Amino acid sequence: MKLAGRVGQVSPSMTLAIDAKAKAMKADGIDICSFSAGEPDFDTPKHIVEAAKTALDQGKTRYGPAAGEPKLREAIAQKLQHVNNLCYGADNIIVTNGGKQSLYNLMMAMIDPGDEVIIPAPYWLSYPEMVKLAGGTPVIIPTTAEAGYRITAEQLRQAITPQTKLFILNSPSNPTGMVYTPDEIRAIAAVVVEHDIWVVSDEIYEKILYDGAQHLSIGAASPEAYDRTIVSSGFAKTYAMTGWRIGFLAAPVPIIQAVSTIQGHSTSNVCTFAQYGAIAAYEGPQTCVTEMVTAFAERRQVMLDALNAIPGLQCPKPDGAFYVFPDISKLGIKSIDFCSALLEQKQVAAIPGIAFGADSCIRLSYATGLDTIRKGMERLDAFVRSL
């Protein structure tokens, strides 16, 4: 059988594959320390679960509008106004099956063959694949550990061509955990406006910040930047709701309408009663978020201290998300070889940086218990010393 050409152009998700292998080894009774998962280890907060249960009891089990329950679209618009200083109404919002579907549908709605999409590396591994699936061309801007894995406004300017349609900004970042400062965001926004390109701002980790780091949505940098911004976010990371599959886009109405049309012919609405859990997440108390971030902050410190004691690793201190991204280039081994040997010899699961466009690095998630972190870092230390 001959499959469609587009299948050959994309790679399967390496993070999902390695995480599945680690989970299978664990199920076989192997003592695994897994740092591969891109998800919080906490349970979804009770009041959110209760709201979804109540919605089920109330019969919220039927098809709803493709763009989402009106009440949730309104709650998201309110949150963006009050938390992010972004002036959106409910008609500027579409509710999607997670941030992943938001971005996929957006590429389908905006990208034509020949369009270029600028992506700083290290990047979330799905960005270039989604661009390719839409027929566009990913244009990668590399960054280094020394530069804190951040691009400058000048680097963005130099990557722009007449074919540039869109720039993907992800702060706080998966996989590096870096956060752009408000001044850096303003400088990048000025370039976006000057060259009249679009920016999609993936803000899924906006609440997971440390050491006083601040998140500025690029759409709030100036009215001109707002006109060219699409915000992509969701509930998975902030509220430990990865399996619920709820994300959203906020954008000018014509973009939301285009994405709704695509969604109306693919998945239709997000699970109706799950959307009521999301309403509770935004309208209920936010202490659950603070508690999770406090736990992440302690784990981050334990992991960083352990990593910095391992000779040959270089690891910038991340200000957000729940990942560290140590540079292993001094060890003279490629990231895939490093991670497969680490898993086989020491039963420690990490993701090779090559999946994120940085073969000199590995990604470790600290969204896991302190005991696992301590044990896993001891094993990593022994592994590196054995190389």
Ligand X SMILES: *Cc1c(COP(=O)(O)O)cnc(C)c1O
**247 interacts with ligand X by CB under 6 A:** yes
Q: Which stretch binds ligand X (CB under 6 A): 109-117, 161-169, 212-220, 236-244?
A: 236-244
C-beta separation of 235 from 278 below 8 A: yes
Question: Which stretch of DSSP H or E encloses residue 364?
Answer: strand 362-365
Q: Is residue 172 near ligand X by the rule CB under 6 A?
A: no
Q: Is 204 in the site for ligand X (CB under 6 A)?
A: yes
Q: Please tell me whether residue 202 binds ligand X under the rule CB under 6 A.
A: yes
Does position 376 interact with ligand X (CB under 6 A)? The reply is: no
> What Cα–Cα distance (Å) separates residue 197 from each residue in 110, 119, 137, 233, 337?
12, 13, 15, 20, 39
Which of positions 114-143 make contact with ligand X (CB under 6 A)?
A: 124
Of 98, 122, 138, 277, the one binding ligand X by CB under 6 A: 98
Nearest to 356, CA basis, from 324, 314, 316, 315: 324
Sole binder of ligand X in the list 242, 267, 286, 372 (CB under 6 A): 242
**Residues in 206-235 that interact with ligand X by CB under 6 A:** 234
Q: Does 64 bind ligand X (CB under 6 A)?
A: no
| CA–CA distance, 361 with 351 (Å, rounded to integer) | 9
3-state secondary structure (DSSP) of residue 279: helix
Helix (H, G, I), strand (E, B) or coil at 143: coil
Q: Which is nearer to ligand X, 197 or 204 (CB)?
A: 204
What SS3 state is found at 170? strand
Residue 305 beta carbon to ligand X: minimum distance, rounded to whole angstroms: 25
23's tokens = 């989970």
Q: Quick check: 100 binds ligand X (CB under 6 A)?
A: yes
Contacts for 132-138: CB closer than 8 Å, 24+ residues apart: 132/6, 132/9, 132/10, 133/6, 133/9, 133/10, 133/104, 133/107, 133/108, 134/107, 134/108, 134/110, 135/111, 136/107, 136/111, 136/112, 136/165, 137/163
Is 313 one of the binding residues for ligand X (CB under 6 A)?
no
In the bound state with ligand X, the residue whose beta carbon lies nearer, of 105 and 174, is 174
Q: Which stretch binds ligand X (CB under 6 A): 92-100, 111-119, 207-215, 307-315?
A: 92-100
**41 lines the binding site for ligand X (CB under 6 A):** no
Nearer to ligand X, 92 or 170 (CB): 170
> Which residues lie near ligand X (CB under 6 A)?
38, 98-100, 124, 170, 174, 202, 204, 234, 236-237, 242, 247
